[in-house]
């Protein structure tokens, strides 16, 4: 399993080595030691989630307030998605930038999204299934929702038409509004959190 950091610091793309023969293929979908070596600290799974989406469904842009924060391992188990990570940490030198990758069930690749970052994806196929390994449990009231169509973010979803969003996502605030309202984690607090995780190794 190979991992590399994306252009948004503290997010990583992992690609497994696939073994194929006449029967099909086999690969390791997740390895704790491989992720720890690349990310720099252990990742504890507290909750697993799945979403199933039709083609053109856009989910996000989502994050979790710090505390408690939530890191995620995001994998496309069926179909394909355009996966996007956005740096929404106020004070970050890369604040507002994003990294986009196509994740497919065939590749088995996954994205690690650190605490404080925002995440969204667009389903590129019908019956797309995405799985999320989460470092913390769902805590009502800690979700951070941003509008994925915020023109200042400049996210290119590559569709001729308008993607299908939930009402919550469609009416979510822009990055600038959320930052002005103090809804986002600070870069300094996130770095301190990551350092604390490294100290637990």
Contact call for residues 107 and 39 (beta carbons, < 8 A): no
Would you call 41 a catalytic residue per the annotation? no
Calpha distance 74→97 (Å, rounded): 19
Task: List the beta bridge partners of residue 14.
Answer: 3, 110
Check if 138 is active-site: no
The residue from 132, 187, 193, 194 that is catalytic is 132
DSSP state letters, 100-164: EEEEETTT--EEEE-TT-EEEEEE-STTEEEEEEESS---TT-EEE--TT-TTT------SSPPB
Residues catalogued as catalytic:
62, 132
């Amino acid at each position: 399993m190979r991992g590399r950091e994306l252009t948004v610091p503290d997010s990583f793309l992992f690609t497994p080595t696939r073994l194929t023969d006449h029967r099909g293929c086999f690969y390791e979908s997740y390895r704790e030691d491989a992720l720890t070596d690349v990310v720099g600290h252990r990742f504890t799974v507290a909750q697993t989630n799945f979403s199933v989406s039709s083609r053109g469904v856009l989910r996000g842009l989502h994050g979790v307030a710090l505390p408690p924060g939530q890191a995620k391992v995001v994998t496309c188990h069926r179909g394909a998605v355009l996966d996007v990570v956005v740096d929404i940490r106020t004070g970050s030198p890369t604040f507002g930038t994003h990294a986009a990758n196509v994740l497919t069930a065939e590749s088995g690749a996954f994205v690690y999204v650190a605490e404080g970052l925002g995440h969204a994806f667009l389903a590129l196929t019908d019956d797309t299934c995405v799985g999320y390994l989460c470092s913390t449990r769902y805590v009502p009231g800690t979700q951070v929702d941003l509008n994925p169509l915020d023109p200042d973010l400049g996210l290119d979803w590559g569709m001729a038409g308008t993607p299908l969003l939930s009402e919550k996502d469609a009416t979510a605030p822009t990055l600038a509004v959320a930052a002005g309202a103090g809804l986002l984690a600070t870069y300094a607090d996130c770095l301190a959190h990551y350092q604390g995780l490294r100290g637990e190794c």
